Chains A and B, each alone.
Chain A
Amino acid sequence: MARARVRPVRDGVALGLAVGVSGVAFGAAAVGSGMNVAQACVLSLLAFTGASQFALAGAVAGGAGLIGGVAGAILLGSRNALYGLRLADLLPHRGIRKLVAAHGVIDETTAVTLAQPDVAAARLGFLATFVTIYLTWNLTTLLGAFGAGRLGSPQSLGIDVVGPAAFLALIWPRLRAGRTERAVGLAGAVIALATTPFLPTGMPVILAAFAALGGALISPQPASPQPESPQPEVP
Chain B
Amino acid sequence: MTGVWVAVLVTAAGCYALKLTGLVVPRGVLSNPRVRRFAELVPIALLAALVAVQAFGAGQSLTIDPARLAGLGAAVAALLLRAPFLVVVVVAAGTAAVLRALGVA
Interface residues of chain A, those whose CB is within 8 Å of chain B, are 18-19, 21-22, 24-25, 34-36, 39, 42-43, 46-49, 51-56, 58-60, 62-63, 66, 69-70, 72-88, 91, 98-99, 101-106, 155-172, 174-175, 180-181, 184-193, 196-197, 199-201, 204-213, 215-217, 219-222, 233-234
Contacts and interface: CB of A to CB of B under 8 A. Distances in A.
11 contacts: A70-B10, A79-B43, A81-B21, A102-B23, A106-B19, A161-B71, A188-B46, A193-B52, A201-B59, A205-B46, A222-B40
Contact of A48 (B15, B76, B85): B15
Contact of A158 (B47, B59, B76, B96): B96
B22 A181 contact: no
Given A157-B93, A162-B92, A102 B19 contact: yes
Contacts of B11: 43, 47, 52-53, 56, 70, 73-74
Residue among B14, B42, B76 facing the most chain A CB atoms (10 A cut-off): B42
B41 A184 contact: yes
A81 to B, nearest CB: 4
Nearest to B75: A165
Interface in B56-78: 56-57, 59-62, 67-68, 71-72, 75-76
Interface of B: 1, 3-16, 18-25, 27, 30, 33-57, 59-62, 67-68, 71-72, 75-76, 79, 84-86, 88-98, 100-101
Contacts of B95: 158, 161
A216 B30 CA distance: 13
Residue among B19, B30, B36 facing the most chain A CB atoms (10 A cut-off): B19
A80 B22 contact: yes
Q: Which 9 residue pairs of A and B lie closest in terms of their CB atoms, listed nearest first?
A: A84-B22, A158-B96, A188-B45, A165-B92, A208-B49, A46-B12, A192-B49, A74-B14, A158-B93
Nearest to B43: A79
Contacts of B33: 220-221
Nearest to A181: B44
B85 A234 contact: yes
B23 A105 contact: yes
B22 A186 contact: no
B30 A82 contact: yes
A226 B49 CA distance: 24
A209 B96 contact: no
B12 A166 contact: no
Nearest to B6: A66
A212 B57 CA distance: 22
Nearest to B55: A164
A154 to B, nearest CB: 10
Nearest to B1: A36
Contacts of B36: 82
B89 A169 contact: yes
